């Protein structure tokens, strides 16, 4: 795992090694072990390395033996051993044992189609000297980040936006349309990012860049082909799923440094940890977060899982104060407004993991999205069931089964529950049926925007942009699959894997690996009948059946509790950090011009008074605070303070 960057000049100038050095210095936290720069005419590549595979031979940027190709690569190709054997049979000669070199040879063999052969998580750029082009690619699910921009001089790319800002002409100006999207979907729709003129390579896409411009190509997308017949043998499918997960975990243990595991206390990470423990043989090291507030805490289940799986466990006890104090760093690394504080404990956990000497952790992310775990799927199912007989008195009572971990929902009268989750004929036909309640609730926080911003966004509809981004055959998919698609192509890469995933882990040079996001598992899951993912109202039914013998019964049977952290109240009270008051002050809000100072004042006062606050209030507060911090950081002096590269003794050029 690493940080990458690069340039391709189109104005006739040669690549500037000084600029590359400055760019890569801004992502050195991603790769503190080694550093390198490559330039060749108008093309330049930079690399900050976190050494995991082939510790001695994997230096980057790496050139092909004939010097025609050079690569800078962040991530892992987990099937590199099999690919290498195949390539060697075809006459390729390798000088290292790294997966990086396998990418180069596979590209020599298959050109841009090479990505179809890779099983992994990647963001890379290959400079192809003979074809005078750059080829960039990002993994299927969007695990690793890859941003780019075009300036008057040419094309620039990097793992993080702050590296692009090393070039003085590139500015981080908040994109108001992106803000509208985040304040609706919690994420932007790729290639859009939070900043004007700065794009991301969408998950499952490659780019070709030459002097004629930038061309994107989608090489993979989530799709839900006509599912298998419902009379398929469940036991057989469960066995197939377990075999796939076992192999997905096995190749994710390939590493020349020890691999640890996150153990949240839920089924998903218990499964990945159990499978890893069965393969590794040794006692596995596991890590988790615990909270003082019992509403969020899962330590009982973490301990049970750890004892059952015989892992050596460390837990980070996260307080509200920890969250508030870490939040500015969290925003600095996330590089986009966020509506939840949940990334903060992940940021602190990766610090603990790093301090314990671990660079790699397995996690259970992705199971909820592809195997039917979230309550939002259950909610849609109940609402749809109810809509078939709106006069039914007992059907809406099933709504009580939703969100058992949310007190605000559980204490609700049946009459109100029915209103909150109400359905109409018109809603049923809506392509976003499953997600409308969440998105409409979230969009209410746009009330906080200043009049100027609201005027600018008056004719904008994030929903129209989303409609344009949907696959052509989306409308023909089953509703359950549509819901899974919205979750797995939107929130997963746009928030879970980025703001809460890669960026929080890599802030402390820790790489996450995700067996559930192995594309073979994802493709298998997409072909399953929805009834096997959620059977009745049992979530992740097939996974539970497949892995029943691997995890404790108590964890298999427990009520699902998604990972959440204490929210807006963290930022108030006697221990509140000073920056909160400044960022939310009338003057602070007014000077950035994004929010209405009076409305923010009313919101902040509600938190200060200690009165009960709602889900919407928490999103609003976290959204405003993170946006304010982000704008202040990127327009202020913080960027210059992170250029430690000059004193780095590891700095090397090819």
The strand order across the sheet containing 133-138 reads: 62-63, 69-77, 120-128, 133-138, 205-210, 213-218
From candidates 293, 295, 440, 582, binder to another protein by CB under 8 A: 440
| Nearest distance, CB of residue 200 and another protein, angstroms | 31
From candidates 23, 205, 594, 620, binder to another protein by CB under 8 A: 620
From candidates 392, 430, 538, 614, binder to another protein by CB under 8 A: 614
- Relative orientation angle of helices 176-185 and 436-443, to the nearest 10 degrees: 130
Nearer to another protein, 564 or 616 (CB): 616
Nearer to another protein, 420 or 460 (CB): 420
Nearer to another protein, 581 or 601 (CB): 601
Residue 625 contacts another protein per CB under 8 A: no
Residue 603 contacts another protein per CB under 8 A: yes
**In this structure, are residues 341 and 565 in contact, taking their beta carbons and an 8 Å threshold?**
yes
From candidates 214, 469, 599, 639, binder to another protein by CB under 8 A: 599
Q: Which of residues 372-431 bind another protein (CB under 8 A)?
A: 406, 408-409, 411-413, 415-417, 419-420
**In this structure, are residues 370 and 521 in contact, taking their beta carbons and an 8 Å threshold?**
yes
Pairing of strands 147-150, 198-200: antiparallel
Q: Is the peptide bond before 258 cis (omega within 30 degrees of 0)?
A: no
- Relative orientation angle of helices 597-609 and 615-635, to the nearest 10 degrees: 120
Measured in residues, the chain has a length of 654
Ramachandran class of 423: left when φ > 0, alpha when ψ lies in -120 to 50, beta otherwise: beta
Residue 557 contacts another protein per CB under 8 A: no
Determine the distance from the C-alpha atom of residue 396 to the mean position of all C-alpha atoms in its chain, rounded to a whole number. Answer: 34
Binding segment (CB under 8 A) for another protein, from list 266-274, 377-385, 584-592, 612-620? 612-620
Site string for another protein, 17-46 (x = CB under 8 A): ------------------------------
From candidates 214, 280, 441, 457, binder to another protein by CB under 8 A: 441
From candidates 615, 638, 643, 650, binder to another protein by CB under 8 A: 615
Nearer to another protein, 417 or 492 (CB): 417
Site string for another protein, 269-288 (x = CB under 8 A): --------------------
The answer for residues whose C-beta is within 8 angstroms of residue 574's C-beta and 6 or more apart is none
Buried b (16+ CB within 10 A) or exposed e, 407-435: eebeebeeeebbeebebeeeeeeebbbbb
DSSP assignment of 114-178 equals GGGG--EEEEEEEEETTTTEEEEEE-TT--S--EEEE-SSEEEEESSHHHHTTSTT----B-HHH
Residue 442 CA: distances (Å) to CA of 185, 420, 439: 8, 14, 5
Nearer to another protein, 274 or 583 (CB): 583
Q: Which of residues 97-136 bind another protein (CB under 8 A)?
A: none
| Nearest distance, CB of residue 597 and another protein, angstroms | 11
**In this structure, are residues 526 and 235 in contact, taking their beta carbons and an 8 Å threshold?**
no
Q: How many residues bind another protein (CB under 8 A)?
A: 31
| Nearest distance, CB of residue 449 and another protein, angstroms | 10
Residue 447 contacts another protein per CB under 8 A: yes
Binding segment (CB under 8 A) for another protein, from list 302-310, 511-519, 540-548, 594-602? 594-602
Nearer to another protein, 447 or 537 (CB): 447
Check if 547 is active-site: no
Nearer to another protein, 132 or 598 (CB): 598
Long-range contacts of 114-118, Cβ-Cβ distance < 8 Å, separation of 24 or more? 115/206, 115/219, 115/220, 116/219, 116/220, 117/79, 117/83, 118/77, 118/79, 118/83
Which residue's structure tokens are 């050139």?
Answer: 63
Nearer to another protein, 80 or 607 (CB): 607
CB count within 10 Å of CB 124 equals 28
From candidates 400, 444, 535, 560, binder to another protein by CB under 8 A: 444
Binding segment (CB under 8 A) for another protein, from list 188-196, 441-449, 550-558, 573-581? 441-449
In the set 2, 153, 318, 570, the catalytic residue is: 2
Residue 359 contacts another protein per CB under 8 A: no
| Nearest distance, CB of residue 633 and another protein, angstroms | 25
* Radius of gyration, CA atoms only, the chain: 24
| Nearest distance, CB of residue 607 and another protein, angstroms | 12
Residue 448 contacts another protein per CB under 8 A: yes
Nearer to another protein, 217 or 410 (CB): 410
Report the distance separating Cα 286 and Cα 480, nearest Å. Answer: 34
The answer for residues whose C-beta is within 8 angstroms of residue 128's C-beta and 6 or more apart is 68, 69, 107, 134, 135
Q: Within 13 Å of residue 478, how many CA atoms lie on the same side as its CB?
A: 17
Binding segment (CB under 8 A) for another protein, from list 336-344, 564-572, 607-615, 638-646? 607-615
Chain residues in the site for another protein (CB under 8 A) = 406, 408-409, 411-413, 415-417, 419-420, 440-441, 444, 447-448, 596, 598-603, 606, 611-616, 620
Catalytic residues: 2
């Amino acid at each position: 795992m690493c940080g990458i960057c690069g340039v391709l000049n189109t104005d006739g100038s040669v690549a500037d090694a000084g600029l590359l050095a400055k760019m890569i210095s801004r992502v050195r936290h991603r790769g503190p072990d080694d550093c390198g720069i490559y330039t060749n005419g108008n093309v330049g590549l930079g690399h900050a390395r976190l050494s995991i595979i082939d510790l001695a031979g994997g230096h980057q940027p790496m050139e092909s033996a004939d010097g025609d190709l050079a690569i800078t690569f962040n991530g892992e190709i987990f099937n590199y051993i099999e690919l290498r054997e195949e390539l060697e049979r075809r006459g390729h000669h390798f000088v290292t044992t790294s997966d990086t070199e396998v990418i180069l040879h596979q590209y020599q063999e298959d050109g841009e189609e090479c990505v179809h052969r890779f099983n992994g998580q990647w963001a890379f750029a290959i400079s192809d000297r003979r074809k005078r082009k750059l080829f960039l690619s990002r993994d299927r699910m969007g695990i690793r980040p890859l941003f780019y921009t075009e300036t008057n001089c040419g094309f620039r790319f990097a793992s993080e936006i702050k590296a692009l800002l090393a070039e003085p002409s590139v500015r981080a100006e908040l994109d108001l349309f992106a803000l509208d999207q985040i304040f609706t979907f919690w994420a932007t729709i790729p290639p859009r990012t939070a900043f004007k003129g700065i794009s991301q390579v969408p998950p499952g896409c490659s780019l070709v860049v030459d002097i004629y411009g930038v061309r994107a190509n989608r090489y993979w997308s989530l799709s839900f082909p006509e599912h298998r017949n419902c009379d398929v043998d469940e036991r057989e499918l469960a066995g197939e799923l377990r075999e796939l997960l076992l192999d997905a975990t096995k190749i994710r243990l390939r590493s020349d440094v020890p691999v640890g595991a996150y153990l949240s206390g839920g089924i998903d990470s218990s499964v990945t940890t159990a499978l890893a423990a069965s393969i590794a043989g040794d006692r596995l090291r596991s890590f988790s977060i615990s909270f003082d507030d019992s509403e969020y805490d899962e330590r009982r289940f973490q301990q049970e899982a750890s004892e059952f799986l015989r892992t050596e466990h460390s837990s980070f006890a996260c307080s509200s104060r920890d969250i508030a104090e870490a939040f500015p760093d969290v925003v600095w690394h996330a590089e986009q407004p966020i509506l939840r504080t949940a990334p903060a404990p992940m940021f602190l956990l990766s610090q603990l993991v790093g301090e314990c000497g671990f660079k790699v952790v397995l996690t259970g992310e992705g199971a909820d999205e592809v195997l039917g775990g979230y309550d939002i799927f259950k909610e849609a199912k109940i609402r749809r069931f109810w809509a078939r007989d709106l006069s039914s008195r007992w059907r809406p009572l099933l709504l009580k089964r939703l969100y058992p971990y949310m007190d605000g929902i559980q204490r609700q009268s049946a009459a109100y529950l029915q209103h909150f989750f109400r359905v109409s004929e018109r809603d049923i036909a809506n392509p976003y049926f499953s997600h409308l309640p969440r998105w409409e609730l979230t969009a209410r926080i746009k009330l906080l925007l200043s009049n100027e911003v609201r005027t600018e966004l008056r004719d904008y509809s994030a929903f129209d942009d989303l409609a344009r981004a949907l696959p052509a055959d989306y409308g023909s998919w089953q509703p359950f699959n549509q819901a899974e698609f919205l979750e797995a192509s939107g929130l997963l890469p746009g928030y879970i894997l980025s703001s809460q995933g890669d960026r929080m882990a890599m802030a402390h040079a820790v790489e996450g690996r995700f067996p559930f996001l192995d594309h073979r598992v994802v493709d298998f899951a997409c072909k399953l009948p929805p009834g096997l993912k959620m059977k009745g109202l049992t979530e992740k039914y097939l996974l539970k059946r497949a892995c029943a013998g691997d995890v404790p019964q108590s964890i298999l049977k427990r009520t699902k509790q998604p990972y959440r952290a204490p929210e807006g109240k963290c930022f108030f009270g006697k221990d509140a950090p000073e920056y909160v008051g400044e960022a939310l002050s009338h003057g602070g809000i007014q000077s950035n011009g994004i929010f209405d100072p009076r409305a923010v004042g009313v919101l902040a006062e509600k938190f200060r008074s200690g009165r009960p606050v709602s889900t919407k209030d928490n999103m609003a507060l976290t959204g405003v605070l993170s946006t304010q911090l982000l704008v202040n950081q990127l327009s202020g002096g913080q960027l210059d303070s992170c250029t430690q590269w000059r004193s780095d003794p590891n700095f090397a050029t090819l």
